[in-house]
Amino acid sequence: MSLDLKTPGVYIKENSLLPPSIVQISTAIPVFLGYTELSVSEPTRISSMKEFEASFGGAYQYQYDITLPAAGPELTTVKAALGSYFFYEAIQLYFANGGGPCFILSTGTHLDTIVSGDFATKMEEIEKLDEPTIIAFPEAANLLPVDYKAVTDAAFIVCDKMKDKFVLIDTPKSIDLTLSSPNTDLTAFRTSLTATNLNYGAAYFPHLETTADYQFSSNSKYANVALSTLKADGSADYQKAIDLLNAAGTVTLPPSSLMAGVYASVDRNVGVWKAPANVALQGVVKATVAISDNKQAGLNVDVNSGKSINAIRNFAGKGTVVWGARTLDGNSNEWRYISVRRLFMIAEESIKKATSQFVFEPNDAKTWVKVSGMISSYLDGLWKEGGLSGAKASDAYFVNVGLGVTMTTQDILEGKMIVQVGLAASRPAEFIVLEFSHFMNQ
Protein backbone atom coordinates (compact mmCIF):
# COMPACT_ATOMS: atom_id res chain seq x y z
CA MET A 1 0.00 0.00 0.00
CA SER A 2 1.49 3.33 -1.05
CA LEU A 3 0.85 6.40 1.12
CA ASP A 4 -0.16 9.78 -0.29
CA LEU A 5 2.12 11.93 1.89
CA LYS A 6 1.03 15.49 1.16
CA THR A 7 -0.61 16.62 4.41
CA PRO A 8 1.50 16.69 7.61
CA GLY A 9 0.38 14.08 10.14
CA VAL A 10 0.77 10.48 11.32
CA TYR A 11 -0.01 7.68 8.86
CA ILE A 12 -0.48 3.97 9.45
CA LYS A 13 0.74 1.27 7.10
CA GLU A 14 0.07 -2.39 7.97
CA ASN A 15 2.74 -4.84 6.82
CA SER A 16 1.92 -8.54 6.54
CA LEU A 17 4.77 -10.57 7.98
CA LEU A 18 3.02 -13.95 7.93
CA PRO A 19 3.82 -16.23 4.99
CA PRO A 20 1.03 -17.58 2.76
CA SER A 21 -0.49 -20.81 4.04
CA ILE A 22 -2.47 -23.80 2.77
CA VAL A 23 -5.87 -24.61 4.22
CA GLN A 24 -6.71 -28.28 3.74
CA ILE A 25 -9.95 -28.92 1.89
CA SER A 26 -12.75 -30.98 3.45
CA THR A 27 -11.77 -34.62 3.13
CA ALA A 28 -15.00 -36.64 3.31
CA ILE A 29 -17.98 -34.75 1.90
CA PRO A 30 -20.04 -37.28 -0.10
CA VAL A 31 -22.56 -36.62 -2.83
CA PHE A 32 -25.32 -39.25 -2.84
CA LEU A 33 -27.53 -40.02 -5.84
CA GLY A 34 -30.91 -41.64 -5.32
CA TYR A 35 -34.70 -41.49 -5.57
CA THR A 36 -36.56 -39.20 -3.15
CA GLU A 37 -40.17 -38.57 -2.21
CA LEU A 38 -40.05 -34.93 -3.33
CA SER A 39 -38.67 -33.68 -6.62
CA VAL A 40 -35.60 -31.43 -6.21
CA SER A 41 -33.64 -30.52 -9.31
CA GLU A 42 -30.52 -29.01 -7.72
CA PRO A 43 -27.87 -30.72 -5.57
CA THR A 44 -28.59 -29.79 -1.95
CA ARG A 45 -26.18 -29.67 0.98
CA ILE A 46 -27.52 -31.16 4.23
CA SER A 47 -26.12 -31.94 7.66
CA SER A 48 -28.87 -34.04 9.25
CA MET A 49 -31.89 -36.26 8.53
CA LYS A 50 -34.11 -33.36 9.56
CA GLU A 51 -32.68 -31.29 6.72
CA PHE A 52 -33.06 -34.25 4.35
CA GLU A 53 -36.74 -34.61 5.22
CA ALA A 54 -37.34 -30.86 4.86
CA SER A 55 -35.98 -30.85 1.31
CA PHE A 56 -36.57 -34.37 0.00
CA GLY A 57 -39.37 -35.87 2.11
CA GLY A 58 -39.47 -39.19 3.90
CA ALA A 59 -38.95 -42.87 3.25
CA TYR A 60 -40.72 -44.83 0.55
CA GLN A 61 -43.96 -46.29 1.90
CA TYR A 62 -44.62 -49.79 0.63
CA GLN A 63 -48.21 -50.77 -0.03
CA TYR A 64 -49.51 -54.30 0.59
CA ASP A 65 -52.78 -56.17 0.41
CA ILE A 66 -53.08 -58.79 3.16
CA THR A 67 -55.51 -61.57 2.40
CA LEU A 68 -56.60 -64.32 4.77
CA PRO A 69 -56.93 -67.64 2.95
CA ALA A 70 -57.31 -70.87 4.92
CA ALA A 71 -53.59 -71.61 4.62
CA GLY A 72 -52.72 -68.40 6.46
CA PRO A 73 -52.15 -64.68 5.73
CA GLU A 74 -50.67 -63.74 2.35
CA LEU A 75 -48.97 -60.44 1.54
CA THR A 76 -49.31 -59.14 -2.00
CA THR A 77 -47.29 -56.17 -3.27
CA VAL A 78 -49.48 -53.43 -4.68
CA LYS A 79 -46.73 -51.20 -6.11
CA ALA A 80 -42.96 -51.59 -5.71
CA ALA A 81 -41.55 -54.81 -4.24
CA LEU A 82 -40.04 -54.62 -0.78
CA GLY A 83 -36.48 -53.28 -1.01
CA SER A 84 -36.93 -51.42 -4.29
CA TYR A 85 -36.45 -47.96 -2.79
CA PHE A 86 -34.22 -47.39 0.23
CA PHE A 87 -32.42 -44.09 -0.32
CA TYR A 88 -33.88 -42.54 2.85
CA GLU A 89 -32.65 -45.43 4.99
CA ALA A 90 -29.24 -45.35 3.27
CA ILE A 91 -28.77 -41.72 4.31
CA GLN A 92 -30.02 -42.59 7.80
CA LEU A 93 -27.26 -45.18 8.16
CA TYR A 94 -24.70 -42.75 6.70
CA PHE A 95 -25.30 -40.40 9.62
CA ALA A 96 -25.46 -43.30 12.09
CA ASN A 97 -21.92 -44.33 11.07
CA GLY A 98 -20.36 -40.93 11.66
CA GLY A 99 -21.32 -39.06 8.51
CA GLY A 100 -21.41 -35.27 8.51
CA PRO A 101 -22.33 -32.71 5.84
CA CYS A 102 -23.15 -34.20 2.46
CA PHE A 103 -24.85 -33.39 -0.84
CA ILE A 104 -28.04 -35.05 -2.05
CA LEU A 105 -28.67 -35.27 -5.79
CA SER A 106 -32.15 -36.60 -6.54
CA THR A 107 -32.29 -38.85 -9.60
CA GLY A 108 -36.11 -38.96 -9.54
CA THR A 109 -39.07 -39.46 -7.23
CA HIS A 110 -40.80 -42.51 -5.77
CA LEU A 111 -43.16 -42.39 -8.73
CA ASP A 112 -40.28 -43.13 -11.12
CA THR A 113 -38.72 -46.44 -12.07
CA ILE A 114 -35.08 -46.92 -11.06
CA VAL A 115 -33.04 -46.91 -14.26
CA SER A 116 -29.34 -46.52 -15.01
CA GLY A 117 -29.87 -43.51 -17.27
CA ASP A 118 -31.04 -41.35 -14.37
CA PHE A 119 -27.83 -41.97 -12.47
CA ALA A 120 -25.53 -41.60 -15.48
CA THR A 121 -27.14 -38.33 -16.60
CA LYS A 122 -27.07 -36.80 -13.12
CA MET A 123 -23.41 -37.78 -12.76
CA GLU A 124 -22.50 -34.88 -15.07
CA GLU A 125 -23.86 -32.43 -12.49
CA ILE A 126 -21.28 -33.61 -9.97
CA GLU A 127 -18.58 -32.01 -12.10
CA LYS A 128 -20.04 -28.63 -11.12
CA LEU A 129 -19.67 -29.36 -7.41
CA ASP A 130 -16.34 -28.42 -5.88
CA GLU A 131 -16.81 -29.52 -2.26
CA PRO A 132 -17.76 -33.23 -2.53
CA THR A 133 -14.87 -35.70 -2.51
CA ILE A 134 -16.86 -38.97 -2.45
CA ILE A 135 -19.53 -40.30 -4.84
CA ALA A 136 -22.08 -42.98 -3.88
CA PHE A 137 -25.28 -44.27 -5.50
CA PRO A 138 -26.63 -47.07 -3.26
CA GLU A 139 -29.98 -47.63 -5.00
CA ALA A 140 -28.20 -48.39 -8.27
CA ALA A 141 -27.21 -51.74 -6.71
CA ASN A 142 -30.73 -52.94 -7.58
CA LEU A 143 -29.94 -52.62 -11.29
CA LEU A 144 -28.91 -55.56 -13.42
CA PRO A 145 -25.11 -55.88 -13.73
CA VAL A 146 -25.09 -54.59 -17.33
CA ASP A 147 -27.02 -51.47 -16.29
CA TYR A 148 -24.92 -51.00 -13.16
CA LYS A 149 -21.85 -50.88 -15.38
CA ALA A 150 -23.20 -47.78 -17.14
CA VAL A 151 -23.45 -46.03 -13.77
CA THR A 152 -19.96 -47.00 -12.54
CA ASP A 153 -18.41 -46.05 -15.89
CA ALA A 154 -19.99 -42.59 -15.65
CA ALA A 155 -18.71 -42.18 -12.08
CA PHE A 156 -15.13 -43.07 -13.00
CA ILE A 157 -15.24 -40.60 -15.90
CA VAL A 158 -16.13 -37.84 -13.42
CA CYS A 159 -13.33 -38.92 -11.07
CA ASP A 160 -10.79 -38.90 -13.91
CA LYS A 161 -11.82 -35.41 -15.00
CA MET A 162 -11.93 -33.86 -11.53
CA LYS A 163 -9.02 -35.73 -9.87
CA ASP A 164 -10.44 -34.90 -6.43
CA LYS A 165 -13.28 -37.40 -6.07
CA PHE A 166 -13.42 -41.04 -5.01
CA VAL A 167 -16.28 -43.42 -5.87
CA LEU A 168 -17.72 -46.12 -3.58
CA ILE A 169 -18.88 -49.14 -5.56
CA ASP A 170 -21.51 -51.60 -4.33
CA THR A 171 -21.93 -55.03 -5.85
CA PRO A 172 -25.30 -55.55 -7.58
CA LYS A 173 -27.87 -57.18 -5.33
CA SER A 174 -28.38 -60.08 -7.72
CA ILE A 175 -24.85 -61.54 -7.52
CA ASP A 176 -22.81 -63.52 -4.98
CA LEU A 177 -19.04 -63.10 -5.12
CA THR A 178 -18.27 -66.04 -2.81
CA LEU A 179 -19.61 -68.92 -4.89
CA SER A 180 -17.34 -71.90 -5.44
CA SER A 181 -14.74 -71.72 -8.19
CA PRO A 182 -15.19 -70.93 -10.96
CA ASN A 183 -17.29 -68.01 -9.71
CA THR A 184 -18.92 -66.56 -12.80
CA ASP A 185 -20.53 -63.76 -10.73
CA LEU A 186 -17.14 -62.58 -9.46
CA THR A 187 -15.55 -62.79 -12.91
CA ALA A 188 -18.46 -60.99 -14.55
CA PHE A 189 -18.45 -58.21 -11.95
CA ARG A 190 -14.74 -57.57 -12.32
CA THR A 191 -15.04 -57.66 -16.10
CA SER A 192 -17.88 -55.14 -16.00
CA LEU A 193 -15.74 -52.54 -14.25
CA THR A 194 -13.71 -50.14 -16.34
CA ALA A 195 -10.03 -50.98 -16.83
CA THR A 196 -8.85 -47.38 -16.27
CA ASN A 197 -8.83 -44.92 -13.35
CA LEU A 198 -9.48 -47.75 -10.89
CA ASN A 199 -7.41 -46.06 -8.20
CA TYR A 200 -10.25 -43.54 -7.84
CA GLY A 201 -12.65 -46.10 -6.40
CA ALA A 202 -13.20 -48.98 -3.98
CA ALA A 203 -15.73 -51.81 -4.03
CA TYR A 204 -17.44 -53.44 -1.02
CA PHE A 205 -19.26 -56.76 -0.56
CA PRO A 206 -21.77 -57.97 0.62
CA HIS A 207 -25.06 -56.16 1.38
CA LEU A 208 -26.02 -55.58 5.01
CA GLU A 209 -29.04 -56.49 7.08
CA THR A 210 -29.73 -53.36 9.15
CA THR A 211 -31.84 -52.39 12.16
CA ALA A 212 -33.86 -49.90 10.08
CA ASP A 213 -37.51 -50.74 9.45
CA TYR A 214 -39.36 -50.45 6.17
CA GLN A 215 -42.20 -47.93 6.12
CA PHE A 216 -45.67 -49.08 5.07
CA SER A 217 -48.46 -47.04 3.53
CA SER A 218 -51.66 -46.48 5.49
CA ASN A 219 -53.41 -47.41 2.23
CA SER A 220 -52.26 -51.00 2.72
CA LYS A 221 -55.21 -53.30 3.32
CA TYR A 222 -55.96 -56.11 5.74
CA ALA A 223 -58.87 -58.32 4.61
CA ASN A 224 -59.72 -55.55 2.12
CA VAL A 225 -59.90 -52.80 4.79
CA ALA A 226 -57.35 -49.94 4.74
CA LEU A 227 -54.95 -49.76 7.69
CA SER A 228 -55.96 -46.14 8.25
CA THR A 229 -59.55 -47.26 8.74
CA LEU A 230 -58.59 -50.09 11.08
CA LYS A 231 -56.51 -47.72 13.17
CA ALA A 232 -59.27 -45.11 13.34
CA ASP A 233 -61.78 -47.78 14.42
CA GLY A 234 -59.46 -49.14 17.07
CA SER A 235 -59.68 -52.59 15.51
CA ALA A 236 -57.48 -55.39 16.83
CA ASP A 237 -56.84 -56.27 13.19
CA TYR A 238 -54.70 -53.14 12.87
CA GLN A 239 -52.00 -54.56 15.16
CA LYS A 240 -52.25 -57.93 13.42
CA ALA A 241 -51.57 -56.21 10.11
CA ILE A 242 -48.64 -54.22 11.53
CA ASP A 243 -47.11 -57.38 13.00
CA LEU A 244 -47.39 -59.16 9.63
CA LEU A 245 -45.80 -56.25 7.78
CA ASN A 246 -42.95 -55.90 10.26
CA ALA A 247 -42.29 -59.63 9.97
CA ALA A 248 -41.40 -59.00 6.31
CA GLY A 249 -37.95 -58.04 7.58
CA THR A 250 -35.74 -55.04 8.23
CA VAL A 251 -34.07 -52.96 5.54
CA THR A 252 -31.19 -54.58 3.66
CA LEU A 253 -28.71 -52.03 2.29
CA PRO A 254 -25.66 -52.07 0.05
CA PRO A 255 -22.69 -50.82 2.07
CA SER A 256 -21.66 -47.65 0.18
CA SER A 257 -23.60 -45.12 2.28
CA LEU A 258 -22.40 -46.69 5.54
CA MET A 259 -18.84 -46.70 4.22
CA ALA A 260 -19.13 -43.00 3.38
CA GLY A 261 -19.99 -42.47 7.05
CA VAL A 262 -16.96 -44.52 8.10
CA TYR A 263 -14.70 -42.46 5.82
CA ALA A 264 -16.02 -39.24 7.38
CA SER A 265 -15.65 -40.54 10.92
CA VAL A 266 -12.10 -41.85 10.42
CA ASP A 267 -11.02 -38.64 8.67
CA ARG A 268 -12.45 -36.51 11.47
CA ASN A 269 -11.10 -38.56 14.39
CA VAL A 270 -7.69 -39.51 12.97
CA GLY A 271 -7.02 -38.25 9.46
CA VAL A 272 -7.46 -39.07 5.80
CA TRP A 273 -4.25 -41.09 5.94
CA LYS A 274 -5.87 -43.69 8.23
CA ALA A 275 -7.33 -46.68 6.41
CA PRO A 276 -11.17 -46.79 6.75
CA ALA A 277 -11.07 -50.40 7.92
CA ASN A 278 -11.23 -52.57 11.04
CA VAL A 279 -14.27 -50.51 11.99
CA ALA A 280 -17.51 -52.02 13.32
CA LEU A 281 -20.57 -50.75 11.46
CA GLN A 282 -23.43 -49.20 13.40
CA GLY A 283 -27.08 -50.05 12.83
CA VAL A 284 -26.17 -53.38 11.23
CA VAL A 285 -27.40 -56.80 12.33
CA LYS A 286 -25.08 -58.78 10.08
CA ALA A 287 -23.61 -59.05 6.61
CA THR A 288 -25.98 -60.98 4.34
CA VAL A 289 -23.18 -63.33 3.19
CA ALA A 290 -20.73 -64.90 5.63
CA ILE A 291 -17.17 -64.61 4.32
CA SER A 292 -14.35 -66.88 5.46
CA ASP A 293 -10.61 -66.16 5.24
CA ASN A 294 -10.39 -68.45 2.25
CA LYS A 295 -13.28 -66.74 0.46
CA GLN A 296 -11.88 -63.28 1.15
CA ALA A 297 -8.53 -64.22 -0.37
CA GLY A 298 -10.19 -64.41 -3.79
CA LEU A 299 -11.83 -61.01 -3.27
CA ASN A 300 -8.88 -59.13 -1.82
CA VAL A 301 -6.24 -60.19 -4.34
CA ASP A 302 -6.75 -60.69 -8.06
CA VAL A 303 -3.49 -61.37 -9.88
CA ASN A 304 -5.05 -60.80 -13.28
CA SER A 305 -7.05 -57.57 -13.17
CA GLY A 306 -6.03 -56.34 -9.73
CA LYS A 307 -9.64 -55.38 -9.02
CA SER A 308 -9.67 -55.89 -5.27
CA ILE A 309 -13.04 -56.09 -3.50
CA ASN A 310 -13.19 -55.20 0.18
CA ALA A 311 -15.02 -57.65 2.42
CA ILE A 312 -17.37 -56.76 5.24
CA ARG A 313 -17.42 -59.63 7.70
CA ASN A 314 -19.25 -60.85 10.78
CA PHE A 315 -16.89 -61.42 13.73
CA ALA A 316 -18.02 -62.89 17.04
CA GLY A 317 -17.74 -60.30 19.77
CA LYS A 318 -16.87 -57.49 17.34
CA GLY A 319 -19.98 -57.20 15.20
CA THR A 320 -20.01 -56.50 11.48
CA VAL A 321 -16.57 -55.17 10.59
CA VAL A 322 -15.03 -53.55 7.50
CA TRP A 323 -12.19 -55.94 6.68
CA GLY A 324 -10.57 -54.47 3.58
CA ALA A 325 -8.71 -51.27 2.69
CA ARG A 326 -7.85 -51.55 -1.02
CA THR A 327 -8.78 -49.52 -4.04
CA LEU A 328 -9.90 -51.29 -7.18
CA ASP A 329 -6.31 -50.85 -8.40
CA GLY A 330 -5.17 -53.60 -6.06
CA ASN A 331 -2.04 -54.61 -7.97
CA SER A 332 -0.59 -51.10 -8.00
CA ASN A 333 2.26 -50.41 -5.60
CA GLU A 334 1.41 -46.71 -5.73
CA TRP A 335 -2.37 -46.69 -5.39
CA ARG A 336 -3.24 -50.05 -3.79
CA TYR A 337 -4.59 -48.53 -0.59
CA ILE A 338 -7.59 -46.22 -0.19
CA SER A 339 -5.87 -44.08 2.43
CA VAL A 340 -2.84 -43.43 0.19
CA ARG A 341 -4.97 -42.50 -2.83
CA ARG A 342 -7.19 -40.18 -0.82
CA LEU A 343 -4.24 -38.54 0.99
CA PHE A 344 -2.68 -37.62 -2.34
CA MET A 345 -6.04 -36.40 -3.68
CA ILE A 346 -6.54 -34.11 -0.69
CA ALA A 347 -2.95 -32.85 -0.66
CA GLU A 348 -2.97 -32.19 -4.41
CA GLU A 349 -6.25 -30.29 -4.32
CA SER A 350 -5.31 -28.29 -1.20
CA ILE A 351 -1.95 -27.27 -2.67
CA LYS A 352 -3.51 -26.49 -6.05
CA LYS A 353 -6.07 -24.13 -4.55
CA ALA A 354 -3.53 -22.37 -2.34
CA THR A 355 -1.02 -21.97 -5.18
CA SER A 356 -3.58 -20.24 -7.43
CA GLN A 357 -2.82 -16.95 -5.63
CA PHE A 358 0.59 -16.94 -7.35
CA VAL A 359 -0.76 -17.09 -10.90
CA PHE A 360 0.65 -14.05 -12.80
CA GLU A 361 3.06 -13.23 -9.97
CA PRO A 362 6.67 -12.58 -11.05
CA ASN A 363 8.30 -15.90 -11.91
CA ASP A 364 11.43 -15.21 -9.89
CA ALA A 365 13.33 -16.44 -6.84
CA LYS A 366 11.23 -14.36 -4.43
CA THR A 367 8.01 -16.06 -5.57
CA TRP A 368 9.66 -19.48 -5.63
CA VAL A 369 10.71 -19.13 -1.98
CA LYS A 370 7.16 -18.18 -0.97
CA VAL A 371 5.63 -21.11 -2.84
CA SER A 372 8.19 -23.59 -1.55
CA GLY A 373 7.82 -22.39 2.02
CA MET A 374 4.03 -22.51 1.88
CA ILE A 375 3.93 -26.07 0.57
CA SER A 376 6.68 -27.26 2.92
CA SER A 377 4.85 -25.84 5.92
CA TYR A 378 1.66 -27.67 4.92
CA LEU A 379 3.47 -30.99 4.39
CA ASP A 380 5.36 -30.59 7.63
CA GLY A 381 2.03 -30.37 9.42
CA LEU A 382 0.86 -33.57 7.71
CA TRP A 383 4.05 -35.35 8.74
CA LYS A 384 3.75 -34.27 12.38
CA GLU A 385 0.14 -35.47 12.49
CA GLY A 386 1.18 -38.90 11.23
CA GLY A 387 0.04 -38.63 7.62
CA LEU A 388 3.56 -39.04 6.21
CA SER A 389 6.20 -41.59 7.16
CA GLY A 390 9.83 -40.82 7.90
CA ALA A 391 12.09 -40.30 10.91
CA LYS A 392 12.72 -36.71 9.88
CA ALA A 393 11.02 -34.18 7.63
CA SER A 394 13.43 -34.74 4.74
CA ASP A 395 12.44 -38.42 4.72
CA ALA A 396 8.74 -37.57 4.64
CA TYR A 397 8.49 -35.04 1.82
CA PHE A 398 10.34 -32.73 -0.54
CA VAL A 399 9.49 -29.55 -2.44
CA ASN A 400 11.66 -28.42 -5.35
CA VAL A 401 11.28 -25.28 -7.46
CA GLY A 402 13.74 -23.01 -9.22
CA LEU A 403 15.80 -22.25 -12.30
CA GLY A 404 18.14 -25.14 -13.05
CA VAL A 405 16.26 -27.28 -10.54
CA THR A 406 12.76 -27.75 -11.97
CA MET A 407 12.77 -25.19 -14.78
CA THR A 408 14.84 -24.14 -17.71
CA THR A 409 15.16 -20.61 -19.05
CA GLN A 410 12.79 -21.62 -21.83
CA ASP A 411 10.19 -22.72 -19.25
CA ILE A 412 10.30 -19.29 -17.65
CA LEU A 413 10.02 -17.57 -21.04
CA GLU A 414 6.91 -19.66 -21.66
CA GLY A 415 5.40 -18.57 -18.35
CA LYS A 416 5.78 -21.91 -16.57
CA MET A 417 6.55 -22.25 -12.89
CA ILE A 418 7.17 -25.95 -12.22
CA VAL A 419 7.04 -27.21 -8.65
CA GLN A 420 7.97 -30.79 -7.77
CA VAL A 421 6.37 -32.23 -4.64
CA GLY A 422 7.09 -35.67 -3.18
CA LEU A 423 5.25 -37.39 -0.32
CA ALA A 424 6.10 -40.55 1.61
CA ALA A 425 2.58 -41.61 2.51
CA SER A 426 1.89 -43.78 5.54
CA ARG A 427 0.58 -47.18 4.46
CA PRO A 428 -1.72 -49.48 6.42
CA ALA A 429 -0.37 -52.65 8.00
CA GLU A 430 -2.63 -54.98 6.02
CA PHE A 431 -0.78 -58.17 6.96
CA ILE A 432 0.70 -58.49 10.43
CA VAL A 433 3.11 -61.44 10.62
CA LEU A 434 4.06 -62.71 14.07
CA GLU A 435 7.10 -65.00 14.04
CA PHE A 436 7.41 -67.41 16.94
CA SER A 437 10.11 -69.93 17.77
CA HIS A 438 11.19 -72.12 20.67
CA PHE A 439 13.72 -70.45 22.93
CA MET A 440 15.94 -72.93 24.77
CA ASN A 441 17.30 -72.05 28.19
CA GLN A 442 21.04 -71.38 28.04
Give the per-residue pLDDT at 56. Answer: 98
Average pLDDT score over residue span 310-325 = 96
Which among 61-75, 87-101, 177-191 has the top mean pLDDT? 87-101
In the predicted model, is pLDDT for residue 64 greater than 80? Answer: yes
Give the per-residue pLDDT at 16. Answer: 65
CATH fold for the domain made of 30-214+249-340: Rossmann fold (3.40.50)
Contact present, 62 and 80 (Cβ < 8 Å): yes
Give the per-residue pLDDT at 374. Answer: 94
The domain limits of the chain are: 30-214+249-340, 359-423
Q: Could you tell me the pLDDT band of residue 371, with boundaries at 50, 70 and 90?
A: very high
Q: Could you tell me the pLDDT band of residue 5, with boundaries at 50, 70 and 90?
A: confident
Give the per-residue pLDDT at 180. Answer: 82
253 or 431, greater pLDDT: 253
Give the per-residue pLDDT at 12. Answer: 67
Q: Where are the beta strands (DSSP E) in 64-207?
A: 64-67, 74-77, 102-109, 134-136, 166-170, 201-205
Average pLDDT score over residue span 219-232 = 94
For the chain, what is the radius of gyration of the CA atoms? 27
Give the per-residue pLDDT at 440. Answer: 73
Q: Could you tell me the pLDDT band of residue 269, with boundaries at 50, 70 and 90?
A: very high
Type of residue found at 138: P
> Mean pLDDT, the chain, as a whole number?
93
- The H-assigned helical ranges of 356-404 are 365-385, 393-396
439 or 323, greater pLDDT: 323
Contact present, 96 and 264 (Cβ < 8 Å): no
What are the tens digits of pLDDT across the range 88-108? 999 999 999 999 999 999 999
In the predicted model, is pLDDT for residue 442 greater than 70? Answer: no
In the predicted model, is pLDDT for residue 2 greater than 70? Answer: no
Average pLDDT score over residue span 156-161 = 95
